[in-house]
């Protein structure tokens, strides 16, 4: 089974506030997530994929 991360874990790794992750979930802008009842978890592989897709070499490159 993949490693599951909490919202707190992901916020720390990305250096953003937990409220930012909650807003991203509402708008579909953040990493893919899993809802486990009332809990939200992120698979480590999905977080890594999301970060990789946003890696750019210059400010003129479009972020997806």
Residue 44 is part of a domain; what is its CATH number? 1.10.1660.10
What residues make up the domain containing 8?
Answer: 4-53
More confident residue, 57 or 10: 10
How many domains does the structure of the chain reveal? 1
The set of residues, in sequence order, having a beta carbon less than 8 Å from that of 17 and lying 6+ positions away, is 11
Q: Model's pTM, two decimal places?
A: 0.84
Q: Is the pLDDT of residue 64 over 70?
A: no
Residue 1 pLDDT > 80: no
Mean pLDDT of 39-62: 90
State mean pLDDT over 16-43: 96
Question: Is residue 63 over pLDDT 70?
Answer: no
Give the Cα separation of 31 and 44 in Å (integer): 10
In this prediction, residues 41-62 reach a mean pLDDT of 90
Tokens found for residue 5: 């991360």
The per-residue b/e assignment along 1-38, b for 16 or more CB within 10 angstroms, e otherwise, is: eeeebebeebbeebeeeeeebeebbeeeebbebeeeee
In a domain, residue 37? The reply is: yes
């Amino acid at each position: 089974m993949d490693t599951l991360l909490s919202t707190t874990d992901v916020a720390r790794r990305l250096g953003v506030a937990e409220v930012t992750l909650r807003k991203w979930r509402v708008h579909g802008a953040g990493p893919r997530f899993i809802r486990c009842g009332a809990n939200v978890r992120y698979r480590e592989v999905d977080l890594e994929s999301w970060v990789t897709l946003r890696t750019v070499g210059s400010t003129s490159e479009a972020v997806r």
